[in-house]
Amino acid sequence: MLRVGNLWQLLKLAIRFYSLQRYFKKLFTTEINPLFSGVYNFLPETQVKRLRYRVKNYTVTLAPFFGSLLYELHNRKPDSKQRRLLALAGAATAFFDMIYDENWKGESLIVFPPQESDDPVGKLLYSLYHMIMKEAPMPDGLLRWINHISKIEHESCQQKGILNRKELERITYLKGAAGLMVFRHLLPVEVKKEEEEALRVAGAAIQLMDDMADVWQDLQEGITTPASYFPSPFVFAQHIESLFEEIYAKLITAGFSKPLVFRFCFTLYAAFLVGKVHAQRLTFYLEKTGKPLATLTKPEVVLKSDIGFWVIYFKQIIKFRIVDQKIK
């Protein structure tokens, strides 16, 4: 059954997100990027490029996406002060990830609140933390989740390359759940237990979506993720898709109205579907050529948003619906 209303929903979503992105791009240029000048002058050029790219991506894409997803679930709109807080959280998340990825603070667990430091990395970490905490409406809960992420990141780095599938999936789930819960604690609305349970699953799905997007790059770098255990990128995408029914059911149980829950799931699904269609086409290419994924070149795996891509995308988005908590 086709749902033409989905196209209208998608159009409104695209307009809202485009408007938010324009706003967050200005925030990145005028407020966020200048905060990193000391670190940029301190780090090697190769690391500066990676950090600048990640900070911009998290600030301009991840922060407005998480913000719109969570605020709209509560039928609210963030004001300018709340948007700035989301942008700061996006930039801080990117910086924090880089600290662990690049081992800038050694192998020790980073505990928050962080101590004052003279080195540029520690100084910026201290500054970002206090800027966010000063504006956060629920600082205690936010602090708990930030420390939770730090423990997960530390555990992941300490056991890199030796985790079995079960442990890897556990850490991936916890990291995704904690990431979304950090952003949830930036909203001026109390978090109920049932909502937290639903958002944990949604956060895990978002983390798996990230793994899906990076499946080839992770192979090249020898990084094992949950995607590594699936026979093809498309089968992995189908696994992620199966989580949407659980997310929907848990949000309904948490007391959110069906229209708000559908909008939340639709927004998340619209983002997921970009990766799913790419995974579908990539899997078809692998089957057609008989090549292993790891042997493909970057031009062969890059997302090609041509007419064929969007035909598949719109065919699937127009069919999306949830009936009796089942995606049809």
Residues facing 323 on adjacent strands: 326
Please check the confidence at residue 1 and state whether its pLDDT lies above 60. Answer: no
**pLDDT value for 88:** 97
Is residue 161 very low, low, confident or very high in pLDDT (cuts 50, 70, 90)?
low
Q: Diameter of the chain by CA atoms? A: 62
The predicted model gives 6-13 an average pLDDT of: 92
Phi then psi for 323, rounded to 5 degrees? -125, 125
If we measure between CA atoms, which residue out of 41, 134, 140, 153 comes closest to residue 89? 134
Please check the confidence at residue 78 and state whether its pLDDT lies above 90. Answer: yes
Contact by Cβ (8 Å): 120, 39: yes
Residue 162 or residue 222, greater confidence: 222
Give the up-direction half-sphere exposure of residue 160: CA atoms within 13 A in the CB hemisphere. 12
| Tens-digit pLDDT profile for residues 250-265 | 999 999 999 999 999 9
Is residue 328 very low, low, confident or very high in pLDDT (cuts 50, 70, 90)?
low
**E-strand stretches of the chain:** 322-323, 326-327
The predicted model gives 32-57 an average pLDDT of: 95
Contact by Cβ (8 Å): 104, 98: yes
Is residue 77 very low, low, confident or very high in pLDDT (cuts 50, 70, 90)?
very high
Residue 107 or residue 112, greater confidence: 112
- d(CA 132, CA 130) in angstroms, rounded, equals 5
The predicted model gives 125-131 an average pLDDT of: 97
The predicted model gives 222-250 an average pLDDT of: 94
**pLDDT value for 34:** 97
| Tens-digit pLDDT profile for residues 199-214 | 999 999 999 999 999 9
**pLDDT value for 205:** 96
| Tens-digit pLDDT profile for residues 286-300 | 999 999 999 999 999
133 contacts: CB under 8 Å, gap ≥ 6: 113, 139, 142, 143
